[in-house]
Amino acid sequence: MIEGYATLDPEGRPGLGAHAADAFGIPVIGVAKTPFRTATHAFQIIRGAASRPLYVTAAGGLDVAEAARIVSAMAGPHRIPAALARVDRLARGREQPVAEPTSR
């Protein structure tokens, strides 16, 4: 899962998610917070009490409807799923990863 678009238009023009799907050989779900003018194929989903949608796309063989279902079912009461919110905080240095316990 990435924060952004997997594909940029209905014809499948690759976005960050499509490049990641190709590089890693796995399906990728793109979750964007803002609309992209050519991404008319993106599924819009509303989570929690949000009034603004998330824009879901998919690459690597995953159907966009299934990707939207997965994002809708992710944990967290807010617009942004809890896992994506945590990744965003980690990437921005606003949160530190939990240290692994050391074995003795």
pLDDT in tens, 33-90: 999 999 999 999 999 999 999 999 999 999 999 999 999 999 999 999 999 999 889 8
Query: What's the mean pLDDT in 25-35?
Result: 97
In this predicted structure, the answer to whether residue 104 has a pLDDT above a threshold of 70 is: no
Rounded-to-integer distance, Cα 29 and Cα 7, Å: 9
Q: What is the enclosing helix (H) or strand (E) of 45?
A: strand 43-45
* Among 81, 45, 37, 41, CA closest to 57: 41
Q: Give the burial string for 70-94 (b: 16+ CB within 10 Å, else e).
A: bbeeeeeeebbbeebeebeeeeeee
Rounded-to-integer distance, Cα 68 and Cα 64, Å: 6
Look-up: residue for tokens 């399906």? 27
Specify the pLDDT at position 94: 84
pTM of the model: 0.87
